[in-house]
Amino acid sequence: MGALLAGCASQSNSVYHQLGGNEKVEQIVENFVVEIERDPVILAYFEGADINRFVEKLSEQICSRTGGPCSYTGDTMAQVHGGMNITEADFNRTVDLLINAMNKADVPHRLQNKVLRALAPTRDEMLYL
């Protein structure tokens, strides 16, 4: 019981909790897919990708990296993106799409920055591998 309460206390400060939990993460990810579909440069990378799996795994990843109660069950960022030859410009372009997705989900800018900070370590796992 004590451990359970402690777990709840730490989660209530998490970026995940500040976002509003799973519902908001799903909104962000759904908006992100729409943004990707509208961007021919980034969409090209997704040819042949399984979008349902992408939605599920990316939601898990955002949840777990922002301190939410999820475990990430997908492949590592290096395994997934390593062979794609993602340029720094295209990485930044994708981050812009994520920002658009968060704007459309009414995520306040300060909170957007916290989400981006939580995902930032993935950058070095996928560029120039």
Residues annotated within a binding site for heme: 81
> Smallest distance, Å, CB 110 to ligand HEM?
19
How many other β-carbons are positioned within 10 Å of the β-carbon of residue 128? 9
CB closer to ligand HEM out of 18 and 60: 60
Are 25 and 14 spatial neighbours (Cβ–Cβ below 8 Å)?
no
For residues 27 to 66, the per-residue mask of contacts with ligand HEM, x marking binding by CB under 6 A and - elsewhere, is ---------------x--xx--xx--xx--xx--x-----
* Binding residue for ligand HEM, selected from 27, 66, 94, 112, defined by CB under 6 A: 94
Interaction of residue 113 with ligand HEM, rule CB under 6 A: no
Q: How many CA atoms lie within 13 A of 82 on its CB side?
A: 8
Cα separation, 15 vs 112, whole angstroms:
9
